[in-house]
Amino acid sequence: MKNFGYTRHTDRQIDFDATDKRLYQFVFDLEPSINLCIFCGTCAATCSAGHFTTLSFRRISLLLRRGMNDIVKKEIENCMLCGKCQLVCPKGVNTRNVILQIVKGIEKYEL
């Protein structure tokens, strides 16, 4: 049979309504400064771990509110909790506490 080059692709849209926002809500309730983030990336620019791994606090902050918790869970494993990101954040996000609360939330919801 002639191959017309069609392949099946998985749907890569973020299905916003289907995602799990419990983790974000949990973190927001305990550390509301998470929602001050404007995704400027200063945290990720200064993060030494981000040079060698895909860790970016900016990305964690974003993916958390998109409910992409599996990636968040994997990424924060690379964080050394050094707090450099917190020093440079122009919006006063308490980045370290956000990460600590993410860890707690992951345990709580067994994610």
Binding stretches for ligand SF4 (CB under 6 A): 37-43, 47, 49, 55, 57-58, 61, 79-85, 89, 91, 93, 95-96
Distance CA 101, CA 95 (A): 10
Residue that is written with structure tokens 């954040």 in the block: 89
- Residue 16 makes contact with another protein by CB under 8 A: no
Residue that is written with structure tokens 């440079």 in the block: 88
In the structure encoding, which two tokens stand for residue 26, read together? 């949990």
Quick one: which of 82, 77, 99 has its CA closest to 33? 99
Q: Please identify, using beta-carbon distances, which residue of 25 and 42 lies nearer to another protein.
A: 42
Residues 6+ apart with CB under 8 A from 5: none
Binding partner selected for residue 80 from another protein, ligand SF4, none, CB under the kind-specific 5 to 8 Å limit: ligand SF4
Binding partner selected for residue 59 from ligand SF4, another protein, none, CB under the kind-specific 5 to 8 Å limit: another protein
Binding partner selected for residue 45 from ligand SF4, another protein, none, CB under the kind-specific 5 to 8 Å limit: another protein
- Residue 59 makes contact with another protein by CB under 8 A: yes
In the structure encoding, which two tokens stand for residue 43, read together? 């945290």
